[in-house]
Amino acid sequence: MKKIMVTGALGQIGSELISKLRKEYGAENVLATDIRNISSGVIESGPFELLDVTDGEKMHQIAKDFGADTMMHMAALLSATAEAKPLLAWNLNMGGLVNALEASRELNMQFFTPSSIGAFGPSTPKKNTPQDTLQRPTTMYGVNKVSGELLCDYYFQKFGIDTRGVRFPGLISNETLPGGGTTDYAVDIYYKALAEGKYTSYIAEGTYMDMMYMPDALQAIVDLMEADASKLIHRNAFNVTAMSFEPEEIAASIKKVIPTFTMDYDVDPIRQAIANSWPDSIDTTAAKEEWGFTYKYNLDDMTKDMLEKLASKN
Ligand code: AKB
């Protein structure tokens, strides 16, 4: 049975990842760590340690004491926050990553960390963006993500560490709210649709971005980590996505369930500029061929499930 340590366990992906991993591998085999210890299902349902990922020694010690054989490094600042605080983003995103890779090298752990569609930039082909292509991002987040992809490849090639990763699109979930991302509008819209019947989008009409429902994203992590290593040609940062839409399309999907829903626009120039530099849609052939990537939810399935789940919580 795996012994998995997760950083950033109270974040948007981390908190749902912990409950999935605890179901799959047993609660006692999944150690959650985070810089905060706010009361939540994550802390109450299994082992938890406070950890600032920029403290490499403590990270190593916690992993060693737990007997971890797998590291899932999720702690990071998202794109809009990273743009507002670039130096903090560099220190946290790159410092945390190199510490997690070092702990994995020293303790011979299998390693996962997510990259993002943010690793692409304005010179990247915008439609059906290939797995291997130009990556010259213009955001601090993107610079961190490309550097991270390269660093993970380096740890595999140089030290033989079993590093694996995906490029996630915007992730939509009904459990933990994202914070500081560019794609967050596609989560906020569901909350506002239920609470107020209307939404003001900070992303402009006609702006396409890739998205995925959280259950599919979590399954992708488990499937990639369980995949036969001999079949992996790419390892770090497989393109994965389930849908690509613009604000009008998600609004139309919500209208099918809440016919009175309305949307208008108040575009945020900073997040819009980030969105404009990202692909419209990415190609997932490598992930499908090398480890059988698949997904269940399209836009309408996700909308139905999101609205049902959110409504049942109120
Ligand atoms: C963000 O918007 O920053 C993230 C991402 C696509 O990496 N959701």
Residue 39 has pLDDT above 80, yes or no: no
AA identity, residue 110: Q
pLDDT range class, residue 314, cuts 50, 70, 90: confident
- 34 and 114 part of one domain: yes
Check whether residue 151 and residue 280 sit in a common domain: no
Ligand 1 pocket residue status of 183, Cβ below 6 Å: yes
38/98 same-domain check: yes
Q: Is the pLDDT of residue 126 over 90?
A: yes
Per-residue pLDDT at 24 = 96
Identify the residue whose C-alpha is closest to ligand 1 atom 1: 181
- Same domain for 207 and 222, yes or no, is no
**Cβ 72 under 6 angstroms from ligand 1:** no
174 shares a domain with 140:
no
User: What's at 208, amino acid-wise?
Assistant: Y
pLDDT at 179: 85
Closest ligand 1 atom to Cα of 169: 6
Q: What is the mean pLDDT of the chain?
A: 97
42 band by pLDDT with thresholds 50, 70 and 90: confident
Nearest CA to ligand 1 atom 4: 181
Same domain membership, residue 185 and residue 97? no
At 249, give phi and psi (nearest 5°): -75, -40
Return the pLDDT at 115: 98
Report, as an integer, the average pLDDT of 28-52: 92
Write the residue with the smallest CA distance to atom 6 of ligand 1: 170
pLDDT in tens, 225-265: 999 999 999 999 999 999 999 999 999 999 999 999 999 99
User: What pLDDT shows up at residue 40?
Assistant: 78
- Domain co-membership, 18 together with 138: yes
For 48, list phi and psi in degrees, rounded to 5: -145, 140
Last residue of a domain, one of 223, 239, 255: 239
Which ligand 1 atom sits closest to the C-alpha of 117?
6
Q: Is 264 exposed, middle or buried (0-12, 13-18, 19+ CB in 10 A)?
A: exposed
Do 81 and 89 touch, CB atoms closer than 8 A?
yes
Residue from 77, 83, 141 whose mutation best tests the ligand 1 pocket (most atoms within 8 A of CB): 141
Q: Which atom of ligand 1 is nearest to the CA of 145?
A: 7
**Residue 117 and residue 194 share a domain:** no
CA of 106 to the centre of ligand 1 (A): 30
> Do 230 and 248 belong to one domain?
no
Residue-range definition of the domain harbouring residue 298: 170-211+243-313
pLDDT score for 178: 77
Average pLDDT rounded to a whole number, residues 163-183? 94
Residues 193 and 220 in one domain: no
Paired tokens of 173: 């979930």
pLDDT for 177 equals: 84
Same domain? For 177 and 233 the reply is: no
Asked whether the predicted pLDDT for residue 167 surpasses 90, the reply is yes
Catalytic residue positions, numbered: 141
Q: ipTM of the predicted structure?
A: 0.98
Residue of the nearest CA to atom 7 in ligand 1?
116
Indicate which atom in ligand 1 lies nearest the CA of residue 183. 2
Do 199 and 151 share a structural domain? no
Q: Tens of pLDDT along 76-95?
A: 999 999 999 999 999 999 99
- Ligand 1 centre to CA of 235 (Å) is 21
